[in-house]
Chain A
């Protein structure tokens, strides 16, 4: 990347130096400056690389990866884009199919963004050649709008579809040796740790109370709709439009993150009260204390259940049942 940064100013003056040269040189020139990664463009080099006549395809990703623009999609997609370019440039392309991959940062290409009236980023433009065997009559660029996170393979199939027939290099993901090595190391470390600590670990692993706690927490999470939050990515809380917070989402099949936590807590209290009544109270030897415990847990059960019903009534308007006090 450092090399590329250095090249940017150089590329900017390229058009002046290359005015007289033929297009073939233009392609080779760009190609030679960036062997594997996408070419980094700015306003003027963008104009040059897309200028007519051109006898090559060029795919330009207009993006804004800098942190201050807060474009998460741009930053997430950047490595995928580099992967596409690298796979193409390293792979064996068919002889007469020429293709360039380039990136235009918003900071370097404000004018282009304005000219294209782009409100969002990233956007991919693919310019077909205007001369040569694959030239198209309609030289307007093809545009790909990103509607969400996308993998390199998905975009690559889209690009390939708009290229002429013929063999194309496949996407090759580099093997992440670091990850394999670290994975193996961590695995062996865990095994060693486990072997060394086994006298201390075994009582914990075999502890019935710990397993009971784990199971109950998992069950409470699942039955209070945690997986729904996970899949739908619901907001934690939302405003009620009057400056306050609404804890419960309107509608039967809708919920907030905090709402599910409240429900999980209600279920937990109710279950605990049940357990207390069924298992703890009969084991209290003192009569008075037992009496008090029964009344306390009984009223906790009633109060919580009543609250749960009233919450459910909020979610399901026509629900006719309730319990006092709520």
Chain B
């Protein structure tokens, strides 16, 4: 056979180089695709920070860049949680801000003037490219097939489950954390395979970075010990495991304790106990393994049994004593709600109120993962074929992460990487078998068949390969169709579901053109420009970060829900009558109250729909004064129209939402478009607040809290007087209401 130019390129040494170059080009293209598919929001809207939490991260990053690292570390923020303040430097995960701060300073050093906002907006897409790369490395450790890594990288690059948290502008901890998660796992697999201190130390280094970046590090903290534990149970103890685990645990724990927010948790909190326990167990196993070399079998058996009983007894007693005496902290609420699924609903309404903490219905899985979801079990099954140490890891990760993703929508994020790995393993096996010009088994994909007594049922017979071209054509073409469908699905989902900044809303006009609804920024900038710099703004906690970030005004509560009582205070003020709320507002120096109202536009994420959570959280603290039952009609309905309960109609939230709303409509035709309710012709009256600002589409309404009356009347009387009503005799008999303001 003559040497054709193609053969020169594909065979021998040159061939290897060509393939390496191709691989680099493919990975570069995947990274580019990953970045560009996340730019929908920037192109459609503008370079803007999204949603809620990113606004805090953005504000913190600006603070870091302005004031330097050390003052960021010691930052006490007196502009949130008024009047308590927040020790921000010690209660956040600084990894994200520090990363963008470092990037900012490098770019400045290279004399590239980039606004810090643009770095923050584009950080997540940039890191998604790195995640695809890390995914390639991780999957290449799992499979000998060259295509598996590239497939996994491509899947990871565009899968919606990851895009949902990493579009441009979604400047959240997860933006860098998923890259760190995948890369830490890659380093861990590498460490276990090689038994090398270097890889173990690198794992610890990236684990430390992960701890500084995201609270989800606990997942790694528990998954790696579980991996080691299962390997021990399978009788696969080796010095490789000992070296990599002890290196990782010792260095990683020290690294994680450098973060002020984590501090001494790794040795006190029950979430971290499994890592410590496995560390101890591994020492014992190593010791037993060492002793076995010196003592004859029968004595060794007896020694081993005694040792196991003594050690386990001592450990159990110690654990019980420490837990009872309070040295070890009990399970943290968020973590506990993962295991006892009914726990959060009863005990922690503030966790149950967050939509990210709801369980996942099946459409969400398919929506986020498309056809990977059914390749996933197949890939896990194939891991059982070789069942090397790293495959055990994939299996454990898969089962655990799919449980977590089922319990909490948010944890879909941790499931996505392993789904990509498993799906790539399954699909690459198919491709390696069917995309092969010559008949017979693929020589490259040939794995070392497991020689253990019991292979998988489906792998007992020898591999003969696919003989007919028709079969190859059928399978290959259908796989190509599925892949194309996957790409189309991902693009559609990203474009339609995950690219809205939620600060700016988009709607379609009747003629199909796009209409931008920009009420949030309109209102926040109104606050910024028309109120004194120290005017306190009260709102429900969802909007705290945005007010802090965009309006730069102090808030009472924000999305860092560290003080339940304070949130309940706001809930009580919102859900009580004006006479009750006004003293609360005065006590907290509130100047403005902000509510979100979607009734005019049909925007369902408004405060009336969140209102029951405010009531529930307030009821948790003041069960006598706020009662959820009072907000439901006798027939158990939550209504806002003329059938609404008196408590509902007199609550501050209801009044603020519907104040003057009926004047928008003619002759008692006021309609709430979210709840589809016809409102009473007579709107609610406000006496202690006055309307300060209402945005274009009425989404944001801001009220100014009135100062005390000049004539020492209470506000109800003052308003009645202004409206020309005579003062009623009955009120005089009781004497004027005393307004308590301290």
Contact = CB atoms under 8 A, between A and B. Distances in A.
A and B found bound together: yes
Interface of A: 145, 147, 158, 161, 206-209, 211-212, 215-216, 218-220, 222-228, 230-232, 252-255, 259-260, 263, 266-268, 270-272, 274-285, 287, 290-291, 294-295, 298, 301-302, 305, 308, 312, 315-316, 318, 320-321, 323
Contacts of B433: 277-278, 281-282
A253 B361 contact: yes
B395 interface: yes
A255 to B, nearest CB: 5
**Counting chain B CB atoms within 10 Å of each CB, which of A208, A226, A260, A320 scores highest?**
A208
Most A CB within 10 A of own CB, among B381, B461, B628: B381
14 contacts: A208-B455, A209-B456, A218-B402, A225-B359, A255-B362, A266-B374, A271-B375, A272-B378, A275-B382, A278-B430, A283-B462, A290-B471, A305-B482, A321-B489
Q: How large is the interface on B (under 10, 10 to 19, 20 to 34, 35 or more residues)?
A: 35 or more
A158 B623 contact: yes
Interface string B397-408: 011001101110
Contact of B371 (A231, A278, A285, A305): A305
Contacts of A298: 474-475, 478
A93 to B, nearest CB: 23
B374 A274 contact: yes
B381 A260 contact: no
Nearest to A149: B346
Contacts of B462: 283
B367 A316 contact: yes
Contacts of A224: 362, 365
The 9 lowest CB-CB distance pairs between A and B, nearest first, are: A227-B406, A225-B362, A270-B374, A294-B471, A274-B378, A222-B402, A271-B377, A283-B461, A222-B406
Nearest to B628: A147
A144 B624 CA distance: 11
B474 A279 contact: no
B377 A220 contact: yes
A302 B395 CA distance: 27
A211 B457 CA distance: 12
A295 B441 CA distance: 19
Nearest to A288: B468
B407 A231 contact: yes
Interface in B423-471: 426, 429-430, 433, 441, 454-459, 461-468, 470-471
A230 B361 CA distance: 11
B387 to A, nearest CB: 7
Contact of A215 (B358, B399, B496): B399
Contacts of A232: 359
A232 B362 CA distance: 13
Given A147-B629, A267-B377, A290-B471, A281 B406 contact: no
A27 to B, nearest CB: 27
A295 B478 CA distance: 11
B623 A231 contact: no
A227 B339 CA distance: 11
Interface of B: 341-342, 358-367, 371, 373-378, 380-382, 384-385, 387, 395, 398-399, 402-403, 405-407, 426, 429-430, 433, 441, 454-459, 461-468, 470-471, 474-475, 478, 481-482, 485, 488-489, 492, 496, 623-624, 628-629
Contact of B465 (A254, A266, A282): A282
Nearest to A254: B361
Given A282-B464, A283-B464, A223 B365 contact: yes
A22 B138 CA distance: 84
B606 to A, nearest CB: 18
B475 to A, nearest CB: 6
A242 B612 CA distance: 34
Contact of A227 (B360, B371, B623): B360
Given A231-B359, A321-B485, A308 B382 contact: no
B341 A230 contact: yes
Contacts of A272: 378
Nearest to A285: B464
Given A218-B399, A218-B403, A280 B458 contact: yes
Given A278-B382, A282-B465, A302 B478 contact: yes
Of the listed residues A232, A263, A281, the one surrounded by the most CB atoms of chain B closer than 10 A to its CB is: A281
A100 B48 CA distance: 64
Contact of A219 (B382, B402, B441): B402
B430 A277 contact: yes
B341 A271 contact: no
B385 A253 contact: no
Given A223-B376, A276-B458, 9 more contacts: A209-B454, A222-B402, A223-B377, A225-B361, A271-B377, A279-B382, A279-B456, A294-B470, A308-B366
B106 to A, nearest CB: 41
Contacts of B481: 323
Given A215-B395, A283-B462, A321-B492, A291 B471 contact: yes
B459 to A, nearest CB: 6
B604 to A, nearest CB: 13
Contacts of A290: 466-468, 471
B475 A277 contact: yes
Nearest to A252: B363
Contact of A295 (B380, B382, B454, B471): B471
A260 B406 CA distance: 12
Contact of B429 (A208, A278, A315): A278
B380 A216 contact: yes
Given A231-B407, A280-B458, A298-B474, A291 B468 contact: yes
Contacts of A252: 361, 363-364, 367
Contact of B459 (A254, A279, A285, A312): A279
B378 A278 contact: yes
A259 B406 CA distance: 16
A315 B363 contact: yes
Nearest to A253: B361
A302 B482 CA distance: 9
B403 A284 contact: no
B458 A287 contact: no
Contacts of B456: 208-209, 212, 279
A324 B579 CA distance: 64
Contact of A294 (B361, B405, B441, B475): B475
Given A158-B623, A255-B361, A223 B464 contact: no
Nearest to B426: A274
Nearest to B233: A205
A302 B485 CA distance: 12
A207 B454 contact: yes
A323 B384 contact: no
A219 B377 contact: yes
Contacts of B359: 225, 227-228, 230-232
A260 B623 contact: no
B409 to A, nearest CB: 9
A227 B403 contact: yes
Contact of B378 (A158, A255, A271): A271
Contacts of B361: 225, 228, 252-255
B407 A282 contact: no
A320 B492 contact: yes
B478 A215 contact: no
A325 to B, nearest CB: 13
A208 B463 contact: no
A260 B457 CA distance: 28
Given A278-B426, A283-B461, A290-B471, A316 B377 contact: no
Contact of A225 (B360, B466, B467, B623): B360
B473 to A, nearest CB: 10
B459 A268 contact: no
A85 B628 CA distance: 27
A158 B531 CA distance: 44
A278 B459 CA distance: 10
A58 B384 CA distance: 66
A271 B374 contact: yes
A219 B362 contact: no
Contacts of A263: 362
